[in-house]
């Protein structure tokens, strides 16, 4: 964990992916969805250092393969094109051909190199991309009315109930650096699973290899620490673009302010991750599980994620039931070595378990705490110095409704 202060990092009011210099974004309705925006783009005036992380699902969708190929050429990107409504997953050779064509068409429209364009898709799987609609949409790029970052934020959504964005600023080498982010997640459209997409832009000048390292470590602490229902999609992708417009000295691990930059990247990523968790299907509460005193960070992460993934914990929180037994149970089956008689658990500030034994507490106070929208669970394993935080949501009637009966 970085112990850098966040005091010098400021959240920008109404900030977004175009807060950093040299980025523009937009979106249109090209006809994949019935009415809503369904095609969006991000553009940088100059090629930007770029890095990505991708789903570990072995059914990886074609756009991920194409985007990886783009970045591999020279670790840069100048534009990102995203469609929602159709995921272009489980589409075989045709899907790959379509993803290449989508990239080619947008590169031609912009007059940039094909390998400087990334593509992403989210929506129905097993259905081919409607390429005529996408081509028509790409041709509308020049229309000024479509240029608006909020249109991009909307164009990538599926069953999300709200847009997800943030921007922060900090000073590096005396230059103001901005980092902006946008995400979608936890949506589900027939016959598909939740897809998480996140795009981060910055005008910082960053070495691309260092940027990739930073993204990987930040992802392990943010995007990989959220769960809505434990299902990991075929299309998950996080991209970061750094175009250098802020004109700082190149950031890398040897730069004196490197950790501060990574901390800012983590702030943006954590905010997006929490926004995704809070907007989990049917969710009424954001749940944060903090595990400390673990022997290893990996162990702390595993235990935090096991608690946040437990259907029994999630339903108890929905029912505002301070059911510490379910939390203890999840700690016990997380497959990490623990000493049961050292475990402490608190729900908010209410200590419910000390040294593995239940503490007397006011159940009404516990219920009252859990009736709030933001719930914190604290676990102290008292066996080391490592810690981790995971985010999730409650499991509700609406989750079942959204996923079982939206066809009727």
Going by the annotation, the residues of the binding site for substrate are 158, 184, 195, 281, 403, 408
372 binding a copy of itself? (CB under 8 A): no
Is residue 389 part of the annotated active site? The answer reads no
- Distance in angstroms (rounded) separating the CA atoms of residues 101 and 318: 45
371 binding a copy of itself? (CB under 8 A): no
Candidates 223, 234, 43, 239; CA nearest to 122 is: 234
Question: Which are the contacts of 7, defined by CB distance < 8 A and separation ≥ 6?
Answer: none
3-state DSSP assignment of residue 94 = helix
Kindly tell me which residue out of 192, 207, 224, 257 binds a copy of itself, with binding defined by CB under 8 A: 192
256 binding a copy of itself? (CB under 8 A): no
Indicate the residue among 149 and 366 with the shorter CB distance to a copy of itself: 366
Binding mask of the shown chain, residues 105 to 134, with x at each position contacting a copy of itself by CB under 8 A? -------------------xxx--------
Which residue is catalytic, options 18, 76, 146, 195?
195
Neighbours of 154 (CB within 10 A): 20
Kindly tell me which residue out of 31, 68, 75, 90 binds a copy of itself, with binding defined by CB under 8 A: 90
Candidates 336, 331, 45, 279; CA nearest to 153 is: 279
Candidates 282, 280, 302; CA nearest to 291 is: 302
310 binding a copy of itself? (CB under 8 A): yes
Question: Is the separation of the CB atoms in 319 and 403 below 8 Å?
Answer: no
364 binding a copy of itself? (CB under 8 A): no
Give every strand in the sheet of 344-347, ordered side by side. 357-358, 350-354, 344-347, 374-380, 286-294, 386-393
403 binding a copy of itself? (CB under 8 A): yes
Q: Could you give the residue numbers annotated as active site?
A: 195
Binding residues for a copy of itself, rule: CB under 8 A, are: 55-60, 89-92, 124-126, 188, 190-194, 229-234, 309-312, 315-316, 318-319, 321-326, 328-333, 335, 337-338, 340-341, 353, 356-358, 395-397, 399-401, 403-408
């Amino acid at each position: 964990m970085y112990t850098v202060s966040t005091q010098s990092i400021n959240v920008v009011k109404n900030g977004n992916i175009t807060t950093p210099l040299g980025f523009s974004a937009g979106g249109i309705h090209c006809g994949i969805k019935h009415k809503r925006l369904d095609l969006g783009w991000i553009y940088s005036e100059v090629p930007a250092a770029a890095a990505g992380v991708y789903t570990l699902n072995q059914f990886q969708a074609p756009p991920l393969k194409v985007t990886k190929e783009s970045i591999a050429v020279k670790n840069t990107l100048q534009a990102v094109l995203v469609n929602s409504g159709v995921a272009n997953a489980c589409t075989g050779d045709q899907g790959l051909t379509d993803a290449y064509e989508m990239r080619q068409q947008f590169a031609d429209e912009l007059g940039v190199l094909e390998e400087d364009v990334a593509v992403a898709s989210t929506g129905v799987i097993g259905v081919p991309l409607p390429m005529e609609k996408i081509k028509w949409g790409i041709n509308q790029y020049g229309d000024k009315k479509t240029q608006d970052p909020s249109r991009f934020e909307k164009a990538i959504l599926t069953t999300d109930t709200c847009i997800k964005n943030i921007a922060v600023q900090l000073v590096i080498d005396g230059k103001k650096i901005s980092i902006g982010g946008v995400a979608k997640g936890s949506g589900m459209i027939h016959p598909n699973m939740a897809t998480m997409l996140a795009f981060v832009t910055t005008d910082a000048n960053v070495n691309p290899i260092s940027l990739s390292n930073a993204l990987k470590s930040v992802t392990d602490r943010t995007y990989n620490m959220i769960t809505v229902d434990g299902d990991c999609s075929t299309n998950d992708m996080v991209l970061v673009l750094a175009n250098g417009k802020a004109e700082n000295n190149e950031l890398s691990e040897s730069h004196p302010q490197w950790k501060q930059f990574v901390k800012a990247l983590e702030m943006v990523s954590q905010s997006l991750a929490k926004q995704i968790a809070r907007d989990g299907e049917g969710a009424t509460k954001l749940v944060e599980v903090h595990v400390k005193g673990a022997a290893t960070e990996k162990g702390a992460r595993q235990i935090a994620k096991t608690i946040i993934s437990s259907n029994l914990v999630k339903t108890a929180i929905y029912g505002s039931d301070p059911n510490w037994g379910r939390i203890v149970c999840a700690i016990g089956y997380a497959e990490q070595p623990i000493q049961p008689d050292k475990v402490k658990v608190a729900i908010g500030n209410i200590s419910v378990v000390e040294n593995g034994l239940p503490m007397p507490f006011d159940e009404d106070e516990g219920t009252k705490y859990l009736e709030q929208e933001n719930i914190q669970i604290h676990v102290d394993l008292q066996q080391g110095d490592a810690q981790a935080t995971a985010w999730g949501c409650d499991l509700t009637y609406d989750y079942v409704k959204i996923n079982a009966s939206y066809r009727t």
